[in-house]
Amino acid sequence: MDTTEKLEEAVAVLQQLGLKEYEARCFVGLIRLETGTAKKLSELTEVPRTRVYDAIRVLEAQGLVEIQHSSPQQFRAVPLDEATETLRDQYEARVERLQETLETVDTIDNQDESPVQEVWAMAGHDAIENRTNDLIEDASEEIVLVVGDESLLTEDLLDALEAASDNVEVIVGSLTESVQDRIRTAVPEATTFVSGLEWLGTETSVENDTAVGRLLLVDRSTILVSSIVPETKEERAIFGGGFGNGLVVIARRLMAQGLIPIRDPGN
């Protein structure tokens, strides 16, 4: 990635954090300059000079830019660590405000009866990891997890498993002994095993095959299965609850392939 691409990516991220395009371009421009006038900043960023002043006023109000009232005025960005912390605080405040607002919104009940069995599709690693961690946190009896892609075994996931292991039975399968050792170290109370489902792993998948990322069964009733899309490496999942005993028995016994018989959750 060359300098131009990096700058455009920075502008795009700043826009995602709430800045308008000219504001983002001026801030990125000032990060590159020790100090700059409106004229110099306009030449560097290609933001019209009259719009530079508007953008700087917004950036100053947000605590991202400082102004020296000389003639001509000089502008500079606050230190990068300080700027990123300010942006983080603003973003988190917006998210908290959004949550508080939506929690007070009245819901509309448009179903006479809730379905006994539900299956939903979801996409995106962060969303799937958050759902996985929430399901683990809500478990009351048993967690059975098989990790098919080592990259999904994040510190957040290990922390969630460790916290859950104090109250529920935690059973975790991996495809290799090295990953099993890592799980044992992080979650010493868990029962670990090397899964017999070799076809889960991305290393054994042929080109263009979709590999299974994770299989999770919580309290013998809620299932989450994710896959890794070969072209984009995006994680997608299906999630469901309220399943009948037949499907649960099959899922639990399939997921426990490689677990010694006495620890088989089907026994």
Q: 255 versus 100: which is more confidently predicted?
A: 100
- CA 58 distance to own-chain centroid: 30
CB 209 within 8 A of CB 177: no
Q: The domain containing residue 79 runs over which residues? A: 3-103
Looking at the structure, tell me whether residues 86 and 131 fall in a common domain: no
CATH code for position 83? 1.10.10.10
Average pLDDT over residues 181-199: 83
Looking at the structure, tell me whether residues 180 and 235 fall in a common domain: yes
Contacts of 137 (CB under 8 A, 6+ apart): 160, 163, 164
Q: Domain tally for the chain?
A: 2
What is the distance between the alpha carbons of residues 252 and 255, in angstroms, rounded to a whole number?
A: 5
Task: Output the pLDDT for position 1.
Answer: 72
Q: What is the mean pLDDT of the chain?
A: 84
Looking at the structure, tell me whether residues 189 and 135 fall in a common domain: yes
Q: Is the dihedral of CA 52, 57, 62, 67 positive or negative?
A: positive
Burial tier of 60 (Cβ tally within 10 Å: 0-12, 13-18, 19+) = middle
pLDDT digits 0-9 by tens, 50-83? 999 999 999 999 999 999 998 899 999 999 999 9
What is the distance between the alpha carbons of residues 92 and 86, in angstroms, rounded to a whole number?
A: 10
Q: In percent, how much of the chain has pLDDT > 90?
A: 45
pLDDT digits 0-9 by tens, 4-13? 899 999 999 9
Q: How confident is the model at residue 40 (pLDDT cuts 50, 70, 90)?
A: very high
Q: Is residue 38 part of a domain?
A: yes
Residue 245, both tokens: 């005993």
* Residue in the block written with tokens 């019209």: 48
Least confident span in 7-11, 16-20, 143-147, 231-235 = 231-235
pLDDT digits 0-9 by tens, 194-241? 876 555 555 544 455 667 888 898 988 888 989 888 778 889 998 887
Average pLDDT over residues 93-106: 88
Contacts of 15 (CB under 8 A, 6+ apart): 21, 24
Looking at the structure, tell me whether residues 146 and 236 fall in a common domain: yes
* Residue in the block written with tokens 């967690």: 143
Least confident span in 31-35, 70-74, 94-98, 226-230 = 226-230
Q: Is residue 110 part of a domain?
A: no
Does residue 260 register a pLDDT over 50?
no
Q: 16 versus 115: which is more confidently predicted?
A: 16
Looking at the structure, tell me whether residues 138 and 94 fall in a common domain: no
Q: How confident is the model at residue 251 (pLDDT cuts 50, 70, 90)?
A: low
In total, the chain counts a number of residues equal to 267
Least confident span in 85-89, 153-157, 260-264 = 260-264
Coil, strand or helix at 195: coil
Average pLDDT over residues 3-29: 93
Task: Output the pLDDT for position 221.
Answer: 82
Task: Output the pLDDT for position 223.
Answer: 87
**Listed residues 51, 73, 103: the one ending a domain:** 103
Peptide bond into 72 cis (omega under 30): yes
Task: Output the pLDDT for position 241.
Answer: 76
